[in-house]
Amino acid sequence: MSILEKTYILSNGVKIPKLGLGTWFINNGDASEAVRQAAKIGYRLVDTAQAYGNEAGVGEGIRTCGVPRDQMFVTSKIAAKAKSYDSAAKAVDDILGATGLDYLDLIIIHSPQPWKDWRKDKKRYFPENVEAWRALEGAYKAGKLRAIGVSNFLQDDLQNVLDNCSVRPMVNQVLCHISNTPARLIDFCRKEGVQIEAYAPVAHGRVLKNRKIAGVAQKYGATVAQLCIRYDIQLGLVALPKSGNPAHMAENAAVDFEISEADMQTLKNFEPITGYGMMRIMPVFRGKPVFRGE
């Protein structure tokens, strides 16, 4: 069984593939063909967001890829600024309308704070996130969504929702890759039954030229990208590498090897990445911690 056929089981019993296709920076016009090519290769999980501006293309790709809808797992994210019940409920309906799908498999809150207030200690939006979460709970109970979750949530952000919810979050999607592994957050989520998804598993290419990581990859006859993706999967995470290139999609899925426990420990303890280059224009790559104290 290839990695594309393997799944985790979320806390509500829904199966989610261990490897999916990220679509950030794939424009709307190209997204439908990217999804069709991914489905042809064997991908069954596709991740998008309101912020990506490509939900219509992703939805078209899902509808026209030739794979039955119930065999595809589609994730989107409500806009980070949707911090009231009404705005979050509208965001869910807008996503369904944009994708042209009757339901989504997973919708998550994109960020605990609007991007303008990213990781500001004095603007945590705890009450607002509870209201946004109530909207997701309503959509879930109405059958619009098969699962609901969050993204970029720190432990206290997640605890706030856990303390005030009627439906527990099933997913927390965070930045996680070799040289940036939020171990305590992963442990906390595991304890609470929250599945971690890892976006940017190859750090937007910033680890590809690291000679030490390349040396470990060479031991397995793998590329650095493949090692990074396999690393996240062996941590028990859903890996979401982004690509619009079918050759890269296929390469990213060729990760049916096992990293030794010794090498996993080495990779977990790699020195932190020093920067994300031009990607620092995006809030999630500005070097602020995914988990306080790490």
Annotated binding site for substrate: 110
List 52, 140, 199, 231, catalytic entry: 52
Known binding positions: 110
Q: By C-alpha distance, which of 9, 101, 99, 2 is closest to 43? A: 2
52 in active site? yes
Which is it for the CA torsion 161, 162, 168, 174, positive or negative?
positive
**Which residues have a catalytic role annotated?**
52
